[in-house]
Structure 1
Amino acid sequence: MDTLEVVKEVTEDLSHDDLLEATEAAVGAILKNDSLLKDLHDDIIIEEISSQIAVEHGQSITIFVNRDALESLKVIIPQDATVRGLKKAIARHFELYQKRAGINVNISWKYIWRTYSLNYDSTVLDNDEACIQDYGVTNKVTLTFKKKKRKTQIT
């Protein structure tokens, strides 16, 4: 009896939920044992796998975003990304982080970007249309969130 026949025989006796659970466990075991994919989350989505593969092929870079006392975010973006693309990737990554942590809070990214700026080596990434490389952002650099200073009005 070949492997395919064994698998077919075993799966015929399983319910859909049992088969789904077994598949998730098998995929989780494969990910944990793969040197390139072992740092990915158990309930990974195809977007994250594609991003990780792009990093390994040198098409994308990894950026770390510090958020004061909170855990740093690891964001993968294309090498030629703009600041706007970086901001969208941060928002997407944070939404996935919240979902996995079971946090159900809506975030106004418009408010976040109006109140905070992204900084790299004391340089504010203030032009959404500029390429991140124009600011010297490369692979495995750390960006920080900093609260923008209010403009004082002179009367």
Structure 2
Amino acid sequence: METEKNLSAEGERGAILNEEEVKKEKLSSEEQEAATAEEEDEDEDALPHSEILDIFEEGLARLVQDPLLCDLPIQVTLEEVNSQIALEYGQAMTVKVLKADGEIMPIVVVQNATVLDLKNAIRRFMELKQQREGGVKHISWRYVWRTFHLVFQGEKLEDDTMRLKDYGIRNRDEVTFMKRLRKK
């Protein structure tokens, strides 16, 4: 008799445990259904790519209206924003590069930049300018650096590894883009 009581008690415990497991399974399946429903709602609420781009460009336009960033173009890149912020914190400097046609390119480089860093910054500046204006698709920079050199106060910037400060170039100084003379 006692064995039967033990068995029935164990059976009741087993039934209680089974009911709890069923409840847990119901909850987890309900939670899964709710999560699936949320994902479907999110998919329905998702914006098309073109609308997201429009929202982003509007935000970017507002960002560029800030007095700190007002010098930047409307189609600004992250690199340009970071450069402008670095300028404000004194971590970068602007080197004005004067082209033969009289155009002045404001090139931003870090304070301890080398001549090579300046050349790369000129390249990035020109590529962005070409993209925005829809100009020439490809510029041969190998040809450019073979044909032209940079000059600061009559001194050619020939050593790509030398720092701009070693040439005496400081913030807002002017460097000239000059055509090399042919060797006879």
- Structure-1 residue corresponding to 2:72: 40
Q: What RMSD in Å do the two structures reach over aligned CA positions? A: 1.7
Higher relative contact order, chain-length normalized (CA < 8 Å, sep 6+): 1
Equivalent in 10, 26, 33 of residue 59 of structure 2 = 26
Tell me how far 1:49 sits from its aligned partner.
1.0
Larger Rg: 2
The counterpart of 1:55, out of the listed 87, 100, 123, is 87
Structure 2 residue aligned with 1:82: 114
Distance 2:159 2:74 in 1: 36
User: Whose strand fraction is larger, Structure 1's or Structure 2's?
Assistant: 1
1:29-85: per-residue Cα shift (whole Å, max 9, x none)?
Answer: 2312x1110111111111111111111111110111111225321111011111111
Number of residues paired by the alignment? 140
Structure 2: gaps of 5 or more residues: 1-44
CA gap of 1:29–1:120, structure 2 versus 1, over 3 A, is: same
CA-to-aligned-CA distance 1:87-124 (integer Å, 9 cap, x gap): 11111111011011112421111111111110111111
> Which structure has the highest helix share of the two?
2
* Structure 1 CA distance for aligned equivalents of residues 148 and 58 of structure 2: 40
Q: Distance in 2 between matches of 1:23 and 1:105?
A: 26
Aligned AA for 1:76? V
Mapped pair 1:117 → 2:153: no
- The unaligned stretches of length 5 or more in structure 1 are 1-11
Hey, what's the Cα distance between the residues in 1 that align with 2:131 and 2:106?
16
Of 139, 147, 170, 1:138 maps to 170
% identity of equivalent residues: 39
SS of the counterpart of 1:39?
Answer: coil
> Structure 1 segments of 4 or more deviating over 3 A?
12-16
- Provide TM-score, normalisation by structure 1: 0.83
Residue 80 of structure 1 aligns to a residue whose secondary structure is coil
